[in-house]
Amino acid sequence: MKVIIVGGVAGGASTAARLRRLDESAQIILLERGGAVSYSNCGLPYYIGGVVQNRDDLLLQTPQSFWDRFHVEVRIFSEAVSVDPAAKTVRIRRTDSGEAYTESYDKLVLAPGAEPLVPPIPGGSNAYTLRTIEDAARIKEAAAAGGARKAVVIGGGFIGLEMAENLRKAGLDVVVAEGSDQLLPPLDPEMAAIAARELERNGIQVLLQNPVKEIRPSGGGYQVLCGSQSLPCDFAVMAIGVRPESTLAVQSGLKVNARKGIVVDEMLRTSAPDIFAAGDAVEKYHLVSREPVMLPLAGPANRQGRVIADNLSGMEHPFDGVIGSAVCKLFHVTAACTGLNEKTLKAMDRPYEKVYLSPSQHVGVYPGASPITMKLLFSPDGTVLGCQCIGEEGVDKRVDVISTVIKLRGSVSDLARLELCYAPPYSSPRDPVNYAGLIAENVLSGLSPIKHWHDLAERDQASSILVDVRTQEEYAHGHLEGSINIPVDELRDRIDSLPRNRELWIYCQVGLRGYIAQRMVMQLRPDQKVYNLSGGYRLLSIAGLLPEQKQNQ
């Protein structure tokens, strides 16, 4: 069997290595348009910022190492320019010499990946993009050039923010210009706002609702026109997203979707016989939304490469879909998510509930405890739909656990009852994951009816009252306007001071004392409506949702 693989990195290289482990007799040819066949694409920003100091450390395999270990023939600087599915041939052009030739195949694997999206604006080509090691080297050189002081990153997604952090670490003043009303699109706005505040604390200027219009040369540097802003800089990096690099597939007559993603079946076969496809260019099935999606992530690309190799070897393993787990480091905090966000659930008109919580990543008695802000989304029957999490430590661990439960179609009760590792440096007897499940269970069972931050704007002040059950000292440092302060430990003795004919909206710092107070009142006054504000005062504060914060922004 002769197999040609178009594209290296995650999907293509994993296909080649797995296939050789399964079939020693196969002839495997891997075509790579650039000069590196297998490298850490996700590590490129950290090379620019100096965290990864040696460029060669980014290389996972070289053409020679691939041959020595796997007897895979890697042809770098070799671009597949056309495919004839009927004749089962690939037309190949050498990008360094222009030489062209034709190669036959028994099986063809397309793993072309995704390319940076550059909008059709004047001067768009003046911005750097980041995809290859060569791209990273050019940006690193620009950042280190004599006199370079300011960079503009256009786009506030994962790649854009990783670029912003690392350019800042390289000593530059950095502005992030984002066209929408939030950073990190996989997160919901209130969670993304926490990430924005972390960037600002570390000296990065964040501009929202400022779509790029033009990049104009100016005095040895550039002027980036974004919305109403004109931003001077030494250079700009375009990071507004990616699109599938599917030109070869389209020209070959393969079926693609509206976004030009290559359509495959569960075995990752394309619409043409003996042609498979993997990676960022491929449409994938989302296990939670149950709809096809384009999801450019390294993990699914690697898994797809393995699935294709298995199927080429006759093992018949389907690719079971994606759930969208992703993580991003932002200076001192980590932001991660999995499953569906609230925006998507609303767009789907799918019933859901949510809870916010801010547990510490480990017990307070052990030094260094810090809170994790979590948002858990779940259906009315308790099925876990998604999670978002931001904090200094332990974020990826919790999101990984919840993503596993989502993959297994688990419920909030499963989260509540998971047996997870505990020792004081790492967690608590009840892990934050357990707390998320327990809180959600209480909401679904009716033990703890809740309100959310956005409900405050619509609250009928004539029929409801805000009750702050924190200490007097906490209340004095900031509280919701119009609230009354009755510390939870005094509530039993002072409950007669609360009106019986109004709804009680109780809140504390993060939600726990509010829940305790709520259960107390609900049992002492079973006919009164009592709500707990999910996430408490802390969520409003750190996400910039307090009325006075909005006025100052």
Which token pair is 45? 């920003």
Contact 109, 133 (CB under 8 A): no
Contact 539, 545 (CB under 8 A): yes
42 included as an active-site residue: yes
Contact 98, 1 (CB under 8 A): no
Residue in the structure block whose two tokens are 């949510």? 354
Q: How far is CA 333 from CA 50, 135, 173, 197, 371, in A?
A: 19, 27, 20, 11, 11
Contact 484, 466 (CB under 8 A): yes
Residue in the structure block whose two tokens are 């003795």? 493
Kindly write down the DSSP assignment for every residue of 513-536, as one continuous string: HHHHHHHHHHHHSTTS-EEEETTH
Which token pair is 495? 């409950």
Among 42, 328, 389, 508, which one carries the catalytic annotation?
A: 42
Instruction: Compute the distance between CA of residue 245 and CA of residue 311 in angstroms, rounded to an integer.
Output: 24
Q: How far is CA 381 from CA 337, 351, 378, 450, in A?
A: 21, 10, 8, 17
Instruction: Compute the distance between CA of residue 489 and CA of residue 438 in angstroms, rounded to an integer.
Output: 23
Instruction: Compute the distance between CA of residue 480 and CA of residue 490 in angstroms, rounded to an integer.
Output: 20
Rounded to whole angstroms, the maximal C-alpha distance in the chain is 89
Instruction: Compute the distance between CA of residue 416 and CA of residue 440 in angstroms, rounded to an integer.
Output: 9
Q: What are the residue numbers of the active site? A: 42
